């Protein structure tokens, strides 16, 4: 099998096309163990959190085969897997929820304790890492998926079976971008018809949040990004107003008076989270979706919580229940209510993955898909 492996981090600001931090190489092809499935990857897509692993701001054990958003077909099933069959069309999910920990029992599989543990160590839910170089060196799995590859062995819990006829180029984006952005609006904030929403950061997750806010019937959807090339796309996704951070206060005042009901922070910046708290009305909620640097600290006026009823909510993987939400969101796409195709910028061979990192860092692409 072939996969893209990160051996050492390369700081942000470097030309990844020159530095080639991801090495596309042959690995020994593992077979699924009990509770696992082998998946032939059709497309994987490059997400900002892959970039954060490459530049070291999201610390992961190396070497690691990266990639966590993908679609494919089941190629083989391990012992005890009875509800997934060879040939099934599957979206990969980056939290292999165990079903029995405290979070899973509470109906919050995105926060699975066991998944957080194995994702942190680069192992799989049902056993230690399987990936090896031909020389026998262990390669860690990225979030139980490692999808920048032509093949992956993953836990049964890392796949959601979808309809056969959904195009791969659409389905590829549901496992991270769509699930995270949609879930932040529909699950975490539970936006209601007629409410106002502002979305800060118009990457694939932010644009998915814009689509979700429009779908939920928000009366105003204000989309903010310093990169003005994202603004037209946000309008197509359902934004009612677009602007740069300098425009945010004016646009919000025009559309929502003293603040929006919900502000979605999809940048991963403590400073932007703090500004979002100023942009929500009394009783409003800020949803923190982007992943700030682990050393970043947040300083905000403390009175606005008890004094104005404001809420600051964290949302990991959109508080999703993937088995419920991926088919639900695909249904919205099928009904023409969720124009996910707008997120797909282009498709390239896996050999060009490092150049893809540069394009993503520069904000030139929303979702670039890769084919091994």
> Footprint of Zn ion on this chain (CB under 5 A)?
47, 49, 97-98, 101, 104, 112, 114, 176
CB nearer to Zn ion: give 176 or 234: 176
* Cβ–Cβ < 8 Å for 135, 29: no
Q: Minimum distance between the CB of residue 289 and Zn ion, rounded to whole angstroms?
A: 11
CA distance 81 to 88: 13
CB nearer to Zn ion: give 256 or 369: 369
Q: Minimum distance between the CB of residue 324 and Zn ion, rounded to whole angstroms?
A: 16
Q: Minimum distance between the CB of residue 96 and Zn ion, rounded to whole angstroms?
A: 9
CB nearer to Zn ion: give 45 or 262: 45
Q: Minimum distance between the CB of residue 151 and Zn ion, rounded to whole angstroms?
A: 20
Q: Minimum distance between the CB of residue 172 and Zn ion, rounded to whole angstroms?
A: 12
CB nearer to Zn ion: give 174 or 332: 174
CB nearer to Zn ion: give 154 or 176: 176
């Amino acid at each position: 099998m072939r996969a893209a492996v990160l051996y050492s981090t390369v700081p942000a600001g470097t030309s990844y096309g020159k530095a080639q931090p991801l090495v596309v190489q042959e690995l020994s092809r593992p077979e699924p163990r009990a509770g696992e499935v082998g998946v032939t990857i059709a497309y994987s897509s490059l997400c900002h959190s892959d970039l954060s692993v490459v530049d070291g701001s999201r610390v992961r054990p190396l070497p690691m085969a990266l990639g966590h958003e993908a679609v494919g077909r089941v190629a083989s099933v391990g012992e005890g897997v009875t509800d997934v069959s060879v040939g099934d069309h599957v979206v990969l999910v980056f939290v292999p929820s165990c079903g029995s920990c405290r979070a899973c029992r509470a109906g919050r599989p995105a926060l699975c304790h066991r998944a957080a543990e194995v994702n942190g160590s680069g192992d799989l839910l049902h056993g230690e890492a399987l990936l090896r170089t031909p020389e026998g060196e262990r390669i860690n799995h990225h979030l139980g998926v490692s999808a920048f590859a032509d093949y992956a062995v993953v836990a049964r819990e890392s796949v959601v079976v979808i309809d056969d006829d959904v195009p791969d180029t659409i389905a590829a984006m549901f496992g991270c971008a769509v699930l995270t952005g949609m879930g932040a609006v529909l699950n975490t904030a539970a936006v209601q018809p007629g409410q106002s929403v502002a979305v800060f950061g118009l990457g694939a997750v932010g644009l998915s949040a814009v689509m979700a806010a429009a779908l939920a019937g928000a009366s105003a959807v204000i989309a903010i990004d310093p990169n003005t090339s994202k603004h037209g796309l946000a309008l197509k996704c359902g934004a009612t107003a677009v602007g740069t951070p300098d425009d945010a206060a004016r646009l919000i005042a025009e559309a929502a008076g003293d603040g929006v009901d919900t502000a979605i922070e999809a940048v991963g910046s403590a400073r932007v989270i703090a500004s979002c708290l100023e942009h929500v009305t009394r009783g409003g909620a800020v949803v923190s979706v982007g992943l700030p640097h682990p050393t970043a600290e947040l300083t905000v006026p403390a009175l606005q919580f008890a004094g104005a009823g404001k809420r600051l909510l964290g949302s990991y993987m959109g508080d999703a229940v993937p088995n419920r939400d991926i088919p639900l969101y695909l249904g919205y796409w099928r009904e023409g209510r969720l124009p996910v195709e707008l997120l797909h910028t282009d498709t390239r061979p896996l050999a060009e993955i490092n150049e893809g990192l540069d394009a993503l860092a520069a904000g030139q692409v929303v979702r670039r898909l890769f084919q091994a």
